[in-house]
Amino acid sequence: MTEPDASGAPPGAVPRAVRNAGPGATGRLESSVEFRVRYSETDQMGFAHHGHYLAWCEMARTEHMRRLGVRYRDLEERGVRLAVADAHLRYAKPARYDDALTVTAWLTEAGSRRLAFGYRIERADDGATLATAETTLVSIDAQGRPARLPEDVIARLEAILDA
C-alpha cells in the first residue's frame, strides 16, 4: 500500500495551484487537491464522517503552503510549528463513498504569529459545494510557546495577499 506524502494527501491525490479567474473571481491564489472518498472515511450510511473534513482541509492547506514556497517541514527545521487555534466548518451536502472531491485552500490573513485560510470542498463530478471552512493557525516554538514566524516567511505570505 502506498503511504500518504508529507502533506498527508492520500495516494492518488492530485495537487494543483491556480489563480482564481472564473466568474466572480477574487484573483486570489488557490491550491487544490483532488482525491476520492475512501471507504474507511465513511459511516454505515455511506456518508463521509464529518471528522474527515478538517483533515481534507489540512491536505489542501499543506499543499497550498508548499506551492507558496513555505513547506511545513522547513518551518519545523527552523524551530517553528503551526497549531490550529480555530476551525469553522459549514456543511452543505454530504460526501459519499467514492465521490471524487476537490478541496481548495487559500490564504486569507498573514501576520507575525498567525495565519488564516479559507477552504471549499466540492464534488468534482458536478461542482457541488459540499462544505466551506476557515482555520486560524498560530505560530509556536517546539515547547508550545508563541513564536514569531521567520521574517522571510511573513514577507512572502504578505506579498501573496497583496498581489
Q: What is the DSSP string of 62-102?
A: HHHHHHTT--HHHHHHTT-EEEEEEEEEEE-S--BTT-EEE
Q: Is the pLDDT of residue 145 over 50?
A: yes
CB 12 within 8 A of CB 35: yes
**Cell for 96?**
459519499
State the virtual CA torsion across 26, 64, 118, 109 in degrees, nearest 10.
Answer: -80
Q: Indicate the pTM of the whole model.
A: 0.84
Task: Give the pLDDT confidence score for residue 162 in this predicted structure.
Answer: 86
Q: Is the pLDDT of residue 20 over 60?
A: no
- Mean pLDDT of the residues in the chain: 88
| CATH of region 15-162 | 3.10.129.10
Residues above pLDDT 70, as percent of the chain: 84
Tell how many helices (H) and how many strands (E) occur in the chain. 3, 6
The pLDDT confidence band at residue 10, using thresholds 50, 70 and 90, is low
The pLDDT confidence band at residue 23, using thresholds 50, 70 and 90, is very low
Q: What is the mean pLDDT of residues 125-137?
A: 98
Angle at 93 between CA 50 and CA 54, to 5 degrees: 30
Q: Which residue has the cell 463530478?
A: 125
For the ranges 17-31, 51-65, 81-95, 129-143, the lowest mean pLDDT is seen at 17-31
Q: Is the pLDDT of residue 27 over 90?
A: no
Give the pLDDT confidence of 29-78 residue by residue, as tens digits: 999 999 999 999 999 999 999 999 999 999 999 999 999 999 999 999 99
